[in-house]
Amino acid sequence: MKNVARYLTLYLILHFIPTTFLVAQSEDFQSWSGLILSKKINPKTTISNVSIVRFTDNSSRFNDVSFDWRVSRKIKGKFHAQVSFRNWPFTEQKPVYFAWYDIKHVQQKEQYKWVNLLRFHHGLDWNDKKLADFLRWRNFYFQKFPNSRFVPYVGYDLWFRFNGKSDFQILWLEAGSEYHFDKLKLKLNYRRIGYFGNIPGLRRHLIVTWLIYSF
């Protein structure tokens, strides 16, 4: 497993870091800031509220704010089920709504954590807006270090479009780190969003910061 961590680190250096120097030349750079408040109401069930503020046009212009409400429950062994609802009330056009239905598998070891998540991303066609539906596969690897609060990770999120399209349209590549306190977690990551299928060649680059508090 140590070799796996070395290879992932090398991949991060060779792939993600050179990309950041190209962002300002021709592709949009965005920054997102998120706050997650999470409450465990019993040993198996957790409820959360998530707020995200987004800036676009090379982080020079406010884009939108979204709010999530989530319920997660451990169902058996290493498997969890989660239901989420997202609302974009402040957009340039009409508000946007969608729901997520997740099945998550979490493998915890002393040296690492491996998270696989299968998500049905359901666009809610409210306000006369036709939103896309996707099947998403999120796969993330977290490397742990002895006596350290610092946890780096890499992963991806692959989007398969329904609604008569039936093809892969979006790929997120992500690398970042977490820093753990007792009930507080700080998270910083770089995300590269690639589009293909109906809009090939379009890319976005994001820096995302998170403040996560559990109580």
How is the chain split into domains, by residue range? 2-214
Q: What is the pTM of this model?
A: 0.82
Structure tokens at 54: 């987004």
Q: How far is CA 71 from CA 36, 49, 121, 144, in A?
A: 13, 9, 15, 27
User: How many alpha carbons fall within 13 Å on the CB side of residue 92?
Assistant: 6
User: How sure is the predictor about 56, in pLDDT bands with cuts at 50, 70 and 90?
Assistant: confident
Handedness of CA 99, 94, 169, 206 (dihedral sign): negative
Least confident of 117-126, 160-169, 184-193: 160-169
Does position 19 have pLDDT exceeding 60, yes or no?
Answer: no
Architecture of domain 2-214: Beta Barrel (2.40)
Q: Which percentage of the chain shows pLDDT scores above 70?
A: 83
Does position 18 have pLDDT exceeding 50, yes or no?
Answer: no
Res 198: pLDDT:
61
Does position 111 have pLDDT exceeding 90, yes or no?
Answer: yes
Q: Report how far residue 142's alpha carbon sits from residue 67's, in angstroms, rounded to the nearest whole number.
A: 26
Query: Comparing 49 with 166, which gets the higher pLDDT?
Result: 49
User: How sure is the predictor about 138, in pLDDT bands with cuts at 50, 70 and 90?
Assistant: very high
Res 4: pLDDT:
47
Q: Report how far residue 156's alpha carbon sits from residue 214's, in angstroms, rounded to the nearest whole number.
A: 25
3-class DSSP state of 161: strand
